[in-house]
Structure 1
Amino acid sequence: MKTLNRRQLCGWLAFLLLLPFSSCDLFDYHPYEGNVTYKNLTAENVARIKALESTFPAQATLKFAFISDTHNFFEEKEAMVKDINSRNVAFVLHGGDITNYGFTDEFERSHRVLSKLNAPYVTVIGNHDCLGDGDKIYQAMYGPLNHSFTFKNNKFIFLNSNFLEFDASVPDLDYLQRELQAPADITNKFVVAHISPDHGEANPAKAMGYATLMQQFTVGLSLHGHIHGHTVRQPYNDGITYLTTASANKRNYVMVTVTGNTITHEVITF
């Protein structure tokens, strides 16, 4: 069960501080209102990805962009979209923190920018997206908090890792294990979670279980955001690479290239 904690109280406090300005039409409607304009965006974008898969050459190189923590950096987000559109990517993965406070208005404004991408984008929920009723708005707009899709010989697993905003059941390692038990023809696995398991705000009781599953199933890349900076590490010295991409205001993101079973990545500055 989700409980109200320090981060969520801060979100409500920020909203209350903004109330005196509400007469200036700061929000068109209550920012926690669940009546979203856009719905089921994850399913919609995954359907676009699967349609591409049906025409994608069997031995072709796959390229996708990994972005995160776009928050309300709208100017930088527009520039990022423009840069990604100038490159040949199959799709875009978003590592969470689409918003600052989990407001409906923020989610919808962010989507209006991200929908300008030529390629479909798929998200995981970030801790800022959970504030107040943000998790409910996220689910109404995007879909399940944990989800996955496949593309050729690649599987992408999206895992809610926001332990402090939920409870001790997060992240759901049973779900992660089931999804990692992929058919033999899936040779590359990617896990996208906003917070890396060794971070101080991750669930400490599940960190080693998370890492053990990643090593057991030879995950190609563990993809994260949250810290607003780019890092590439192997924190458990087990051969599994944990990559974090920067926030949008740093004006860079990561391009991942997959050729057969070989995975490479580079920072793109825009």
Structure 2
Amino acid sequence: MDRRSFLKNSAPVLLLFTNGELLYRSALSLTSDRVKVKFRFAVASDGHFGQPKTTWDTDYGNIVQHINQQRRLKACIINGDIIHDDPAMLPLAKQHLDKLKMPYYVTQGNHDRVDEELWKKTWNMPLNHSFVVDDQVFLLATTSNIKGEYICPDLDWMRAQLEKYKQAPNVFIAIHITPVKWTDNGVDCPEFINLLKDYKNVRAVFNGHDHDQDDMKEREGIPFLFDSHIGGNWGTNYKGFRMVEVMSDNTVATYILNPGTKLNEHTLPERQVAVKS
């Protein structure tokens, strides 16, 4: 489905405004000539390539096709659980992802049970890494290890990156494990949350892992966005991914494609520094 058809037929979009306000707005309000999309990217997670008794090979083929159908995507993030435990599946999953038409980047999930050496050899990027496209900053961090344990992001690495990019207009963070115990599969990372709240250009944190979650939660004014799942044997009754659009006024609109129709659109505001009395 192209953006025009989606906007005509979809549910509300989540908008993140520059003043920190979060609200749902009619998708039709985004068609105004005054608000143009200047940057678009996709986030997908939880392919579980190789999981027994699932359609993992077909799932990957379908989701790559649907992502490739989206116009003017500058990047795609595959946010963990690319495979299902077996390291031998990593190069096979990569063969599918290499068919994406835009640059893509990966994070490690708890089922990506490989060491850093194999990870770097496969993806040509470390477990914790950052990249910048058109002034948009992305911080991607591991939240697991070769044993599949749930861990919080590396605070020293994250702090150094946030400080490095503190003048950037937008910072987007992708981690696989949910860093707040909102869900049965989350883990509390209060020091991570406390770090993020001091950097007001952090526009959103993207989480995978919780296959049954496809909307937004909020902590300390920071939106945490879930993207359903693209594979595996549980979760939402569809397999989809998240689209994110940065507008010319720096409003951020985001929604789920399931993948034929849009769901749960949001606009994400910029976060403002609180004035101390």
Amino acid at match of 1:254: R
Q: Distance in 2 between matches of 1:155 and 1:117?
A: 21
Amino acid at match of 1:181: E
Q: 1:198 aligns with which of 175, 180, 191?
A: 180
- Does residue 173 (structure 1) correspond to residue 120 (structure 2)? The answer is no
Where relative contact order (Cα < 8 A, 6+ residues apart) is larger, the structure is 2
Question: In the TM superposition, what whole-angstrom CA distance separates every residue of 1:15-73 from its partner, at most 9, and x where no partner exists?
Answer: xxxxxxxxxxxxxxxxxxxxxxxxxxxxxxxxxxxxxxxxxxxx961111100011122
202 and 178 in structure 1: CA distance in 2 versus 1, 3 angstrom threshold: farther
- Does residue 139 (structure 1) correspond to residue 120 (structure 2)? The answer is yes
Q: 1:233 aligns with which of 205, 211, 216?
A: 216
Query: How does 1:1-270 map onto structure 2 within 5 Å?
Result: 61-72=38-49, 73-88=56-71, 89-104=73-88, 106-130=89-113, 133-142=114-123, 143-162=125-144, 165=147, 170-183=152-165, 185-199=167-181, 204=188, 207-218=189-200, 219-236=202-219, 238-249=220-231, 250-260=238-248, 261-270=250-259
Root-mean-square deviation (Å): 2.4
What percent identity do the matched residue pairs reach?
A: 24
Give the CA deviation at 1:147: 0.5
Q: Distance in 2 between matches of 1:178 and 1:235?
A: 24
Amino acid at match of 1:257: E
184 and 165 in structure 1: CA distance in 2 versus 1, 3 angstrom threshold: same
**Map of 1:14 onto structure 2:** none
103 and 190 in structure 1: CA distance in 2 versus 1, 3 angstrom threshold: same
Confirm or deny: 8 A CA contact 1:198 1:235 kept in the other structure. Answer: no
Confirm or deny: 8 A CA contact 1:163 1:202 kept in the other structure. Answer: no
Confirm or deny: 8 A CA contact 1:163 1:170 kept in the other structure. Answer: no
Runs of 4+ in 1 over 2 A off after TM superposition: 133-137, 163-171, 182-185, 199-204, 229-236
Question: In the TM superposition, what whole-angstrom CA distance separates every residue of 1:210-266 from its partner, at most 9, and x where no partner exists?
Answer: 111221112101001011133333342x21000111111332110110124211111
Confirm or deny: 8 A CA contact 1:153 1:186 kept in the other structure. Answer: yes
Question: In the TM superposition, what whole-angstrom CA distance separates every residue of 1:163-186 from its partner, at most 9, and x where no partner exists?
Answer: 794789852101101111134541
Q: Which has more helix, going by share of residues?
A: 1
Normalised by the length of structure 2, the TM-score is 0.68
Q: Distance in 2 between matches of 1:108 and 1:166?
A: 19
Q: Which runs of no fewer than 5 residues in structure 2 stay unpaired?
A: 1-35, 50-55, 232-237, 260-277
